[in-house]
Structure formats: C-alpha cells, structure tokens
Amino acid sequence: MDKIQPNLVLKNGEVYTVDRKRSWADTIAITDDRIVFVGSFADIESDFSSEVEVIDLEGKMVLPGFVDAHSHPSHGMDYFGNINLYQLDALEKYKLEIAQFAQRNPDAPAYRGGGWSDSLFPTVGPSKDILDTIVPDRPVSIISYDGHSLWVNSITLEKAHITQDTPDPDGGVIGRDPETGEPNGTLRETAMNLVESVIPDYSTDERVQALLAYQEMSFGSGVTMTHDAMLDAQSIAAFNRLEADGQLKMRFRGSITMHPDQPIDEQIQNILEQRAQNQHPRFQTNTAKIFVDGVVEGGTAYLFEPYAHRPDFSGVPIWSGEQLLEVFPILDKEGIQIHVHVIGDAAAHIALDGLEKAQVENGVRDSRHMLTHLQLVTPEDIARFQHLNAIGIPNPYWFKIDDYYHKLALPYLGQHRADMQYPMKSFFDAGVVMASASDFPVTIPFDPLIGIQLGMTRSEIGRVDAEILWAEERVSLEQMIASFTYNGAFANFLENQTGSLVVGKQADFVVLDKNIFDMSETEIAETEVLLTNIAGQEVYKSENLNSQ
C-alpha cells in the first residue's frame, strides 16, 4: 500500500467506526484534518517514521465525534453568567439564587436568567409576587428551562403596559389570577414577546462569551457538531464574530426561526440571504425553524384529545394547519430544509400534512426535513415519516419516569398518554432516520453518553428501583450510537464529512475510557470522555489519557 504519512496514530484501541457495516478496528491514523487509515495496526506499522505521535489506547474505545442534532448554543446566556435556576429543585433555592445575583449586580438596570421549572408551580406558573419581594425596583425576566415561558416581576408588566385588560396574543397565554384576571407574572409562548422592549437584549459580547462556554462544555462531552435550532439576527452576528476571531472550533449548522405573524416572503428572502452569507465550513444556516406548538407543561402543546386537566381544551397550534400547507411547499421548493418543533400528536400530524403537500407539489427531493421532540406521535403518523423521508430528532435525555412525569405529564395528559410519551423503537422499526439531541439548555448536562443510556433503559439513572417509561420503545446500543453520530451528520447534510470513522472523512472523534459495548447499559453514563478531536485538532484532553 502507499505510504500514508500520518501525523497522529491511535493504536491498540477498540474503534467502533459506525460505517455502513458497523465494523471495528484497532487503529486509526490521521493526516492533518483527515482520517487516512482505519484498520489493523499491523498493516501500517512499517509505513511511518518514529517521529509520528502515537497514542497507545490500551483498549480504550474510539467513536466518531458526537452530533447534537438540536440544541441552543446561542441561548446559553441564561445559563452562563446570569440568574441560573437550572438544576435547582426548590423554590427556596430559586429565591436564594435570585437574591444573591441581585446582590452581586447592584448596578444592572435589569436582571435576566433562566431555568425555572413548571413542576414547582403546576398549572398556574410562578408568581410575580415572589420576584417583587426580592427585586421590586427594576425589571426581572427569567425564562423557563424549556424556553417556552417567562417569569417576570410587576415592574416588567407595568413597563410593558400589560394589565387585566390586555388580551392573550395569538399563540400565547398571559398567566392570570383566576379570580381577578390580573396578570400573575407568567407569560407563555408568544406572550413573552410583549415584554421584549422592557428587557435589554444581550450584547454580542455576552453572546460570544456564551458560545465559547458552550463549545468548551461540548468538547468535554465529546460533542463535535451541533445544530443550533433557533437563530436570529443577533445570534448569527455572534457566530460571525466567533468565526472572524478564529474561535469557531466546532461544526455548527443552524435554523432561522420563522414567525407566523410576519410576512412570509420577507422571512424566506432573509433565510436565502443568510444562507448565501453564512457559508463557512463550520457555520452554515440552511434551515428554517417552525414552532408548530408549545409544550405540555405550559398547556400549549397541540393535542388530538383534550388535556386531562381541561376537558374542553386540546391546545392551539402556533402555526395553523392551513399556514403549514402553504409555507412548507414554498420552503421545500427553495431548497430550504425545514426544522419543525412538534410536541403534541396533533402538531406532528399537521406538520406531516405540510411535508406531504410539499412532496406532492415539488416531487420527492433530498430535503431531509426534521421533526423534533416528538413527545406524542400516533403510530399512523410514525409510518408517514418514512414515506416522506422526514428525519426524527428525539431527546432521549427525557425518556424516564421522573418529577416531570408525575407532576406535569400525568395531570396534563392522563395515564394513557403519559405512558406513551417519546416513541423511539417504533421510528427505527419504520425505517426512519433518528438523530438524537439534547435541546440544551433544556437538558444540562448534555453528555451524549447519558442520552445513550436513557435511550436504552428509558429509566432514571442511578436508581435501582426506577420505573421504565414505555419499555417496548427501548432501543439498542448500536441504534443509540448511530443516532448521536452518523444520523446527526446525515440530518445536516454532513455525512460525507463526519459522523463515522472512514478514510477520507474529517478526523472528528472521541476516545472513551472504556468500551461501552462491554458493560451493563446502566453504567454507560459514567463512562469518561478522554479525548475529543475535531478535524484532527485536539479540543479536549483529560489528564487520564496517557500519550507516549
């Protein structure tokens, strides 16, 4: 064979390539940004000089770099450096964090942050009174961990002129006192926009800092590529700044959010212009984001059958079925990929109707439209994904019976639907490409090894007695790995560059301390990422990896 002249060789490993045959190797060699050899060390031993860096993996595992097919790196500001309620589990802890943040930032004109959960305030949402006692004198706005609701204080409502008489906007809900009708401080979905003018926007600097922090977090988790599923002009500016400063290390693809109440043709024109402008190999925007509905916990998911706690109400879509029938064929025709947020079964249904119309009008194309979250989907609609070549973007981190299930899913959906959340195996069985995602900052930490374990076990990590959420929908390790690697690359039209360890592709890979095929599925989440490389560049290295 020709000499390959690598500059890095990893030998004596357990290399799971995720190639078409799902083959294994013991050695992978890299020249500059590319993989030049995958196979047995004996076959290349004599091919390179002794100066080449050789890492003896001593049986450690190598996988393609992980792909997170739906995440919000450009919305990390609420997590990194502001009021941070993520991962706190009690109202008292919320209050303490808010008070301490206010104390540390006495001069800020307003406070922002994120991470509160509806599970602490079932159905009504958090009250402005709680914030008023801590911060009475300037606006406070804290976004919920799922990004679909805002908690604000009285002064924010006053400055935005939101009163008893303000009607709910289309696609939104102003939380109210049930007796007086007075706004209570919770704003859901499009109602969040009502306070936009009162809350100062994040600066590009703050956005860049959050993106840098996000990249570092990703590298430690082995994530080498992410789809940012909610871009706007400000976040695109931050990505472009990062690129100009040479700090764009990961591969990013992104969706630009469209709004049903703004002129469609102008929005499509903007997406086409952005697509032409953002053509960096590490940052491209070829996708439109459509929120068809909201979330179950906000009562904003669009369901076939009424909510269990409101027998007269099954949710209202943010985009109507008629609008989707009109817009999807246009986007598809322009070659714009569509990334659709669907939580309720009726939302998935009307989104698929829109994709079907696009296929009827434009013919079968390699469009790779994506439907994400997929909390409730009927078996008939799962079959339609396959016919329409739609890609599923599930969030396996949520596949468990936990507080969310008991405090929100059960009371809102009732037992039957709560037990049929997040189908997964049915999609694989139907031949649908499934690309897993964290939805960061909804999920923190977003280590894909946690997602892989949850996709296999569908039960809470670290609890022996944990119940299983819909046991029939558990999937295999091979399927979970594919969903976090090759399938994510495919969903982003990057399968010729990344997503599997094949000669000629970019050297995006991770080294894990153990082979996850050789352990109980309940131990996978504890596996450590030791090394992360993107295009042959080391972006993360644990001190537990010895190089020689």
Between 30 and 442, whose beta carbon lies closer to Zn ion? 442
Q: What does the binding site for Zn ion look like in residue numbers (CB under 5 A)?
A: 229, 439
Query: Shortest distance, CB of residue 394 to Zn ion, whole angstroms?
Result: 12
Q: How far apart are CA 141 and CA 387, in angstroms?
A: 43
Can you tell me the distance from the alpha carbon of 446 to that of 451, in angstroms, rounded to the nearest whole number? 8
Q: How far is the CB of 395 from Zn ion (least distance, A)?
A: 9
Nearer of residues 183 and 315 to Zn ion, judged by Cβ: 315
Residues 6+ apart with CB under 8 A from 392: 370, 371, 372, 374, 385, 427, 432, 433, 434, 435
Measured from the CB atom, is 439 or 447 closer to Zn ion? Answer: 439
Residue with tokens 């300037």: 138
CB of 249 or CB of 373, closer to Zn ion: 373
Query: Residue 72 Cβ, how far from Zn ion at the closest point, in Å?
Result: 6
CB of 262: closest distance to Zn ion in angstroms? Answer: 20
Helix runs in 304-430, H state only: 321-333, 345-362, 379-387, 403-404, 410-418, 425-429
Minimum gap (Å) between residue 77 Cβ and Zn ion: 15
Q: Comparing C-alpha atoms, which of 523, 461, 493, 491 is closest to residue 385?
A: 491
Identity of the amino acid at 236: I
CB of 70 to Zn ion, least distance (A): 6
User: Do 351 and 340 contact (CB within 8 A), yes or no?
Assistant: yes
Quickly count: other Cβ atoms within 10 Å of residue 545's Cβ: 17
- Find the shortest distance in angstroms from Cβ 455 to Zn ion: 18
Nearer to Zn ion, 184 or 438 (CB): 438
16 near 499, Cβ under 8 Å? no
Closer to Zn ion by CB, 340 or 529: give it. 340
- Name which of 232 and 467 has its Cβ closer to Zn ion: 232
Give how far Cα 409 sits from Cα of 4, 417, 422, Å.
Answer: 55, 8, 12
Separation between Cα atoms, residue 519 and residue 57, nearest integer Å = 18
Listed residue (60, 161, 184, 66) closest to 440, CA to CA: 66
Determine the residue with CB nearest Zn ion. 439
- Give a three-class secondary structure readout of 93-122: HHHHHHHHHHHHCCCCCCEEEEEECHHHCC
Give the residue with the Cβ less far from Zn ion, 229 or 250. 229
Q: How far is the CB of 444 from Zn ion (least distance, A)?
A: 13
